[in-house]
Structure 1
């Protein structure tokens, strides 16, 4: 049997799942940001164009973090200037502070994201703020962005486990998320930054977030596959009413906080599962696998996605 003879999975719909899932593709930002060798902006632009052609409608393009902290994304303005937007596709960018918002507004960005923490230690290490002080940093960004008509997503990292603090109380995650939503964020992405979550914990955290008054229609999940749990955790979240899932084409992106981390949930692996369950995504899996194989060649290593390996190995 040839590599392309497998085709798509047999579709056997399951009860209790949403009919459609929105994939928030993070490959061009979260996936590439830890690459040691700088990826040329022309390659990034082609990557984004290929992802859009494959049917993905939310492509997180870059970040306006200071270039000293993330050299890979120092070309943010150049990339956005060279981007040829596809109708129906949004290109959010990560904005860490007001200076980043200034740059985003100057570049004509319409969708931004801020990046918060569910734990004290990570807030101090990543933001140089306490858990409470992070809100003072985000509030003017969110307020100004909403006044300018921008859509604002809030990432919350370390929602299920922290390498310094251990398991994170679900109520603590919910309190952080509710605070960000009350500030004006229209979507909340719950991140398993070190990939330690299991389905029962997902249910507990999502349940607490809902109990805190955050509509599940505005909640997304962002799982890492460090312990091979990303797909099972995603399925658990979908059964709870979540309809937006973050993933990275080809499984690009690692986690610097766990030595064995294998990075983000691969978009191809996610689409294979959803196709098999009869859940619509609008994504052409064949085109997406081609795109990830193409990018893997440019990075000089195989794609970690199981589906890409199976279809293009």
Structure 2
């Protein structure tokens, strides 16, 4: 097992998108800057989608421009179609996250077409992309669908295989869209996917915490070999097209867990906690997570004791 993990902060996209009251663009940019200053080097800053479908994300182009000026930041934007990918690239985006669902019902709900059409559209997007644009696939409902229920592993593996064959040098993220995945299911799919598609550049995991299993499934993914993890400051989130889904696993909880285990995240927890508190307090936000309250009750925001402390005690 490698000694570090790579965290992808998704609050500015997945966390903000279900919030009704408009969040000023200046507030979003300031939040991205603060998150980057806390050590988060990958941030999903927005999405190029229909402004009528998700009004909160209509300022994605402004966020792309602002993020480009933040030293050391690798911003990414979500796109649901090749058409939106062209818009994102034209706005200056250089890391695209193409989203499609493993389940037919959710893909229809999310992008109004069959999964096969989304896969074909993804292939067209790849053919048209400039060479300097990185790509990631977000495979929504990889474990559970709000309409169809638990997803069987074999058909999801078949879809992953078809997508990976189109271009293996991408990152593929297995998404627990509803928060109903269990640790054993996550471990099974993650292990099987890596064995089925050994040439994939990297694997990622996206957890929601609807049933309080976000950290448990994140750790299960880690044990299965995944080293890239999505999380949202303040535990914000909730998919507008997945009824009942609540927020993402909280970034501060994930940082605390891994650092406590002696696995570096590169994120300063004491700098992250005030940001998480601020975004959790946004009007209309649906917040989650446990670390903020636990650390606040101690009157401090310490970095968790890690494996180094145990080693020192044994010396």
For the structure 1 residues 298 and 84, does the alpha-carbon distance in structure 2 shift closer, same or farther, using more than 3 Å as the test? farther
Identify the match of residue 160 of structure 2 among 172, 177, 181.
177
- For residue 24 of structure 1, what is the aligned residue in structure 2? 8
- For residue 313 of structure 2, what is the aligned residue in structure 1? none
The answer to whether the Cα contact below 8 Å between 2:64 and 2:75 also exists between their aligned partners in 1 is no
How far does the alpha carbon of each residue in 1:32-76 deviate from its partner, in whole angstroms, 9 at most, with x for none? 011011100000000000000000010011111111111001111
- For residue 141 of structure 2, what is the aligned residue in structure 1? 158
Distance apart, 1:310 and its partner CA: 2.2
Q: How far apart, in 1, do the equivalents of 2:201 and 2:87 lie?
A: 30
How far does the alpha carbon of each residue in 1:155-178 deviate from its partner, in whole angstroms, 9 at most, with x for none? 001111112212111122222222
- For residue 95 of structure 1, what is the aligned residue in structure 2? 79
How far does the alpha carbon of each residue in 1:163-215 deviate from its partner, in whole angstroms, 9 at most, with x for none? 22121111222222222222226000001111111111112111221232245
- For structure 1, the residue ranges without an aligned partner over 5 or more in a row are 1-16
Name the count of aligned residue pairs. 295
Distance apart, 1:293 and its partner CA: 1.2
**Structure 2 matches for 1:1-40, cutoff 5 A?**
17-40=1-24
- For residue 312 of structure 2, what is the aligned residue in structure 1? none
Q: How far apart, in 2, do the equivalents of 1:101 and 1:240 lie?
A: 31
Distance apart, 1:238 and its partner CA: 0.8
Q: How far apart, in 2, do the equivalents of 1:238 and 1:57 lie?
A: 19
For the structure 1 residues 155 and 302, does the alpha-carbon distance in structure 2 shift closer, same or farther, using more than 3 Å as the test? closer
Q: How far apart, in 2, do the equivalents of 1:121 and 1:301 lie?
A: 27
Identify the match of residue 105 of structure 2 among 109, 112, 121.
121
Say whether residues 1:55 and 2:60 are aligned partners: no
DSSP-derived class of the 1:92 partner: strand
Say whether residues 1:291 and 2:291 are aligned partners: no
Q: How far apart, in 2, do the equivalents of 1:68 and 1:148 lie?
A: 31
- For residue 5 of structure 1, what is the aligned residue in structure 2? none
Q: How far apart, in 2, do the equivalents of 1:66 and 1:312 lie?
A: 39
The answer to whether the Cα contact below 8 Å between 2:179 and 2:214 also exists between their aligned partners in 1 is yes
Q: How far apart, in 1, do the equivalents of 2:194 and 2:68 lie?
A: 38
- For residue 191 of structure 2, what is the aligned residue in structure 1? 207
Distance apart, 1:303 and its partner CA: 4.3
Distance apart, 1:258 and its partner CA: 4.0
Distance apart, 1:251 and its partner CA: 0.5
The answer to whether the Cα contact below 8 Å between 1:217 and 1:243 also exists between their aligned partners in 2 is no
The answer to whether the Cα contact below 8 Å between 2:170 and 2:201 also exists between their aligned partners in 1 is no
